[in-house]
């Protein structure tokens, strides 16, 4: 799961990236793009690890991607370049400046966010136009009335173009299942799941959002966008301290836990993914799977041999396991259910697959 951090120049994207990845980041070639995998904080996973004391504990992770620095580049060009480079991400994290900057002045988060959203729409429009031009050229000599996969795609692209030209959002376009298949390779930016993070000033960290940041929160609520607030600079400073100094620093700042934890959790959720667990010796592991997946897909994730030899899945949700005290106890009490291949996995399911090779 890759999540691209997007925002205007100097919004604090790289500060947030540092806070999220602290040390685990890697540079990707000469593109100036950085990526880093981050474990997803999960109390359920921690409980299972605590309980089983396995040799190996593998949490779920998300990968964050940060673009190259803007270096005074013109905003539109910067954003367009950046978007071209992160087109393949699974979700977007909008980082919006909500702190007063020496250079940029008072924050204007709602209009900053809208500006980026406009750029996303523009990038999608350009993609549709480029594709349409190509299709029109290829289909130039095709007789009217002839239907091929390409004419179907062209007609859909025309429809999408008209829709966008009318100022409507692609998210409101009701794609049929076939149409979704047609556009699946396109990576429309405005169709990607998104969340918003307000980057607030140091002295606003950990407090209820107010002022401009509160306007942004209301805007997000009105538009169905998950919203979080943090001070990226502070979070980066905390993340880069030695582990044993975190608690002290947080307390001094009047913070409970690092806000980045919430952001990672929310970003993970925004991708539409859920976690299931395998727990035992030698490994406790949190696995990432798309919501709505069947237990046979979960088996496939674990190992293709396990999927091939699938007999039944033993399943108990984490809450049940915890309430019983352990998996063994849940089993003794008859709370572990047996399921066939098409059982739909739920977030927090602890799964044991019975299989034969
Ligand atoms: N006061 C304050 N300054 C911040 C905060 N977050 C970032 N900054 C400062 O803003 C400047 C830009 O931060 P970056 O994290 O580099 O921003 P960016 O979005 O990556 O910038 P570009 O990559 O150039 O677009 C730096 O001087 C940061 O120290 C914050 O929460 N509060
Ligand atoms: Mg940067």
Q: Do the beta carbons of residue 318 and residue 348 sit within 8 Å?
A: yes
pLDDT at residue number 29: 58
209 alpha carbon to ligand 1 midpoint, in Å?
Answer: 19
Task: Please state, in angstroms and rounded to a whole number, the distance separating the CA atoms of residues 327 and 268.
Answer: 26
In this structure, what token pair is assigned to residue 207? 């407090």
Q: DSSP code of 87?
A: T
Q: DSSP code of 190?
A: G
Going along 110-255, which residue ranges are E strands?
194-199, 227-230
pLDDT at residue number 42: 95
pLDDT at residue number 325: 95
pLDDT at residue number 259: 84
DSSP string, 316-355: EEHHHHHHHSSHHHHHHTT-PEEE-TTPBP-TTEEEEEEE
Looking from the CA of residue 15, the nearest atom of ligand 1 is 15
Q: Do the beta carbons of residue 107 and residue 98 sit within 8 Å?
A: yes
DSSP string, 4-25: EEE-STTSSHHHHHHHHHTT-E
- Ligand 1 pocket: which of 4, 8, 12, 64 to mutate (most atoms within 8 A of CB): 12
8 alpha carbon to ligand 1 midpoint, in Å?
Answer: 10
Domains and CATH numbers, the chain: 2-109+193-270 (3.40.50.300), 116-190 (1.10.150.300), 292-355 (3.10.20.30)
Q: Report which bound ligand comes closest to the CA of 6.
A: 1
Looking from the CA of residue 16, the nearest atom of ligand 1 is 15
Task: Please state, in angstroms and rounded to a whole number, the distance separating the CA atoms of residues 197 and 110.
Answer: 12
Looking from the CA of residue 230, the nearest atom of ligand 1 is 31
Nearest C-alpha to atom 32 of ligand 1 is from which residue? 201
Sequence-distant (6+) residues with CB within 8 A of 122 are none
Taking the complete model, does pTM exceed 0.85, yes or no? yes
- Ligand 1 pocket: which of 10, 103, 235 to mutate (most atoms within 8 A of CB): 10
pLDDT at residue number 251: 85
Nearest C-alpha to atom 2 of ligand 1 is from which residue? 201
Task: Please state, in angstroms and rounded to a whole number, the distance separating the CA atoms of residues 148 and 356.
Answer: 45
pLDDT in tens, the chain (357 residues): 899 999 998 999 999 999 999 866 666 656 678 889 999 999 999 999 999 999 999 999 999 999 888 777 777 777 777 777 778 899 999 999 999 999 889 999 999 999 999 989 998 999 999 999 999 999 988 888 889 999 999 999 999 999 999 988 898 899 999 999 999 888 899 999 999 999 999 998 888 999 999 999 999 999 999 999 999 999 999 888 888 888 888 888 777 788 888 999 999 998 889 999 999 878 999 999 999 999 999 999 999 999 999 999 999 999 999 999 999 999 999 999 999 999 999 999 999 999 998
Q: DSSP code of 68?
A: P
pLDDT at residue number 26: 64
pLDDT at residue number 24: 65
Q: Which of 102, 95, 107, 100 is nearest to 67 (CA)?
A: 95
Contacts 24+ apart (CB under 8 A), 190-193: 190/117, 190/120, 190/121, 190/124, 192/89, 192/90, 192/91, 192/92, 193/90, 193/91, 193/92, 193/270, 193/271, 193/272
Cis peptide, bond prior to residue 282, ω within 30 of zero? yes
pLDDT at residue number 30: 61
Write out pLDDT tens, residues 300-314.
999 999 999 999 999
Task: Please state, in angstroms and rounded to a whole number, the distance separating the CA atoms of residues 213 and 270.
Answer: 21
Q: Which residues of 181-205 are buried (b: 16+ CB within 10 A; e: fewer)?
A: ebbeeeebbbbbbbbbbbbbbeebb
């Amino acid at each position: 799961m890759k999540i691209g951090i997007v925002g205007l120049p100097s919004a604090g994207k790289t500060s947030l990236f540092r806070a999220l990845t602290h040390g685990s980041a890697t540079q990707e070639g000469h593109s100036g793009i950085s990526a880093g995998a981050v474990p997803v904080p999960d109390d359920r996973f921690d409980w299972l690890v605590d309980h089983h004391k396995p040799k190996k504990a593998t949490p779920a992770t998300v990968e964050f991607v940060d673009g190259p620095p803007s270096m005074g580049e013109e905003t539109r060009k910067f954003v367009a370049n950046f978007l071209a480079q992160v087109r393949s991400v699974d979700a977007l994290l909008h980082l919006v400046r909500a702190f007063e900057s020496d250079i940029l002045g008072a924050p204007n988060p709602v209009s900053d966010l809208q500006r980026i959203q406009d750029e996303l729409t523009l990038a999608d429009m350009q993609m549709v136009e480029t594709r349409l031009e190509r299709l029109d050229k290829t289909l130039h000599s095709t007789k009217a009335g002839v239907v091929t996969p390409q004419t179907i795609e062209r007609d859909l692209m025309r429809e999408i173009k008209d829709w966008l030209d009318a100022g409507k959002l692609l998210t409101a376009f009701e794609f049929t299942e076939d149409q979704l298949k047609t556009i699946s390779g396109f990576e429309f930016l405005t169709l990607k799941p998104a969340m918003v993070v307000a980057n607030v000033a140091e002295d606003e960290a950990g407090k209820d959002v107010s002022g401009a940041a509160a306007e942004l929160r209301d805007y997000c609520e009105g538009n169905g966008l998950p919203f979080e607030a943090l001070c990226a600079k502070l979070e980066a400073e905390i993340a880069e301290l030695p582990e044993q100094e975190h608690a002290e620093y947080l307390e001094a700042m009047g913070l409970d836990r690092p806000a980045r934890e919430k952001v990672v959790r929310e970003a993970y959720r925004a991708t539409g993914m859920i976690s299931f667990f395998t727990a035992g010796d030698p490994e406790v592991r949190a696995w990432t799977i798309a919501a709505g997946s069947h237990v046979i897909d979960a088996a496939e994730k674990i190992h293709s041999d396990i999927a091939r030899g699938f007999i039944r899945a033993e399943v108990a949700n984490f809450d049940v396991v915890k309430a019983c005290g352990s998996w063994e106890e849940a089993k003794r009490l008859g709370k572990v259910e047996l399921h066939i291949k098409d059982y739909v996995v739920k977030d927090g399911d602890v799964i044991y697959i019975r299989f034969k090779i």
